[in-house]
Structure 1
Amino acid sequence: MPIPTAPLIPLYQPAPVTREALDYADLAIIDLRNFATTAEERGKLALQVREAMSSQGFFYVIGHGYSSEQMKRMFDIADVPFSRVSHDEKEKYLASTKQAGSFQGYKLRQYWHIDNGVLDQVETYNIHRDVSSRAHPEALRPLLPEIDQFARHSHINVLGPILRLMALGLELPEETLLDMHRWDGDSETYLRYMKYFPRSAEDEQKTKNVWLKGHNDIGTITLLYSQPVSALQILARDGTWKWVKHIDNAIVVNSGDAMDFLSGGLYRATIHRVVQPPPDQRQYTRLGIFYFCMADDDVKLAPLAASPVLQRLGIKRRFEKDEDAPVMAEWRKARTAAYGQSILSKSSEETDIEQEVIQGVVVKHYS
């Protein structure tokens, strides 16, 4: 719960939910309130998570422990680094993205190349889960106790049960994945506030309305706290793009490259993108709260071959030999530094796809 002496800050007014008839993805809904009931119930949830991750790579979580009112406060806080910090002060807290492969701090607008010379209109402010690990803008400092509490909740009460369920889905001990994501471990797991701003009609035309190209996330698990502006799409197995529907006070969960590697391809790192919102939401900004989870820096991203499930189904290896697989820190730094900055090459086999090679792996970007 927010601390009793929470500082007063401006209230963020979210956009109304779209009334457009969109082609939504049919994603599973996992209620974490059932996690702590019985071992039998956890087993059922684990099978649901395994099916969702192996088929779609995305699912919703409800019953995560924060009320709608508490989440409204979190979105009020999320807007502060954008609306209450001057441009000059933002520049003092820029992330060393290209130099150090770290997102910690600000990414200002027009840093990522989208397409045809168009740069992004997105600002992010990224906070390591240890909020004391670096300095923050003045407006955020009184809010750090609440931010710390929220990061801990996301890690321990949301990520923790999900990792346990995913380990059970692999028929491994519950702690297998949890032990690779220690709260006090050395990793880059972080909270991200992200704000998309409307673009010009010219930029929309040049990019075919794509705001962020289709991509996989870098880490193991991404938690996206649902917000009302429709813009997120996932690439379905039939090759079509499906919208992700807003569910009040839900979390959208997806796996990233690192989990794909660890699970031998069972838990899919699904391609997803961000596009221009539907007409009735285009005048609004889109404010997001994410918790990007990385395995501990020294975790080798080789398949968990002891899994009886993988032994039955087979392992999809991204590296010919396990010893060739990078550790989490190597993969994270390489992909972070390259994102939105690389010169991509056209795929010779697929249209509307560009690619780059990172750590020996072909990384694809979809228009």
Structure 2
Amino acid sequence: MPATVLPPVPHYVPAPQTKEPLEYADLTIIDLSKADTYEGRTKLAVQLRDAMVTQGFFYVINHGLTQAQNERIFDVADIPFSAVSDEEKRTYVANIKATGSYQGYKPRQYWHIDAGVHDQIEHYNINRDVTKKLHPQALRPLIPEIEAFAKFNHFHVLHPLLRLFALGLELPEDTFVNIHEYDAAGESYVRFMKYYPRTQDEETKTKNVWLKGHTDFGSVSILWSQPVASLQILSPDGKWKNIKHIDNALVVNAGDAMDFLSGGFYKGTVHRVIQPPPDQQGYTRLGVFYFCMPNDDTKLSPSPRARSCRGSRTSAYGQTELKAKEKGVEEEIINGVVVKHWN
């Protein structure tokens, strides 16, 4: 992160942690400070591999940012929502369906959830090459800081984790690092994402589901932990279990691209977002992510190259008619690949 004086921004105050007795998934905690030595990496690789074949999600701690820096990035993350007018936002809306890219705003009510109800999720996406698109006025002084944050995620979180993924498969350490280059053409990006409370009618019609169960289409998804208890994973026992918030931790999972790259060994885990517990209802849920894709020219055998696969999934999501194939599961076929949605 930059060592210079940072532009002042309002402080974002998150919801207090829930006191509800929720059922939480028992996730492995990867201490990334131990990845500095080969011996440490080999031990962490076993932990990561076991986490991936059991729960599919894991926490990362001791990644290198302080709690104060963590809070600062959440302050920055709120700016595209709280400091940009609706009129200006419309100027920067992503042409998702035509381009297959989320760069810019994904407005609220763009995705169909269920029973005629559309989402109440707004997000702003910034490619790791922050110069690709012009940004809203309020964000422009913060772009160098966001670029530094993207580089931190890429070099200090993603690449160390990719080495662990490779070692877990007994592959050379840099096997996956070499196809996740920072300067290569690709769609890895920082996402700031805000969920807004919904009406009771919307909750009833969707059975309290804010975002259907799905797997991510990238290789690795990095979520900066936040306190609103809405994220759930589908555990091996078939139950939906909550992800518990840990201060300054990361919540990490693999997506479909890693499934292809690992020959099906590291599978994407089904996860969803639901209405928060009663003591957190009425709060917004602000999220900070780094979504990672391989270089655009990487072959995701037997599917098309990464760029084509990513673009098709992005264009179609929440816009196509889904077909029910089994109880609670809907399907669509994109580029010859079956994409499932758990409802």
Same structural fold, with TM-score higher than 0.5 when normalized by the shorter chain: yes
Contact kept, 8 Å, 1:55 with 1:268, in 2: the verdict is no
Tell me how far apart the structure 2 counterparts of residues 16 and 119 of structure 1 sit (CA, whole Å). Answer: 27
TM-score by length of 2: 0.99
Tell me how far apart the structure 2 counterparts of residues 343 and 114 of structure 1 sit (CA, whole Å). Answer: 11
Secondary structure at the aligned position of 2:145 is classed as: helix
Select the residue among 310, 314, 325 that pairs with 1:332: 310
The number of equivalent residue pairs is 343
Secondary structure at the aligned position of 2:300 is classed as: coil
**2:127 counterpart letter in structure 1:** H
Tell me how far apart the structure 1 counterparts of residues 185 and 172 of structure 2 sit (CA, whole Å). Answer: 22
Cα offset for 1:3?
A: 3.6
Cα offset for 1:133?
A: 1.4
2:12 is the counterpart of 1:18: no
TM-score by length of 1: 0.92
Cα offset for 1:266?
A: 1.0
Cα offset for 1:79?
A: 0.1
Runs of 4+, deviation exceeding 2 Å: 1-4
Cα offset for 1:2?
A: 4.3
How big is each residue's C-alpha offset from its partner over 1:255-308, in whole Å with a ceiling of 9 and x where there is no partner? 001001111111110100000000000010000000000000110112xxxxxx
Residue matched to 2:90: 91
- What are the ranges of 5 or more consecutive residues in structure 1 without an aligned counterpart? 303-321
Residue matched to 1:146: 145
Residue matched to 1:52: 51
Cα offset for 1:99?
A: 0.3
Q: Which moved more, 1:352-361 or 1:26-35?
A: 352-361
Residue matched to 1:30: 30
Q: Percent identity?
A: 60
Tell me how far apart the structure 2 counterparts of residues 190 and 39 of structure 1 sit (CA, whole Å). Answer: 29
How big is each residue's C-alpha offset from its partner over 1:170-219, in whole Å with a ceiling of 9 and x where there is no partner? 11111100001000011000000000000000000000000000001010
Residue matched to 2:174: 175
Residue matched to 2:269: 270
Residue matched to 1:198: 197
Cα offset for 1:19?
A: 0.3
- What are the ranges of 5 or more consecutive residues in structure 2 without an aligned counterpart? none
Q: CA RMSD in A?
A: 0.8
Contact kept, 8 Å, 1:42 with 1:165, in 2: the verdict is yes
Select the residue among 353, 358, 361 that pairs with 2:329: 353
Secondary structure at the aligned position of 2:124 is classed as: strand
Alignment of 1:1-367 (within 5 A): 1-36=1-36, 38-302=37-301, 322=302, 325-347=303-325, 350-367=326-343
Tell me how far apart the structure 2 counterparts of residues 182 and 4 of structure 1 sit (CA, whole Å). Answer: 27
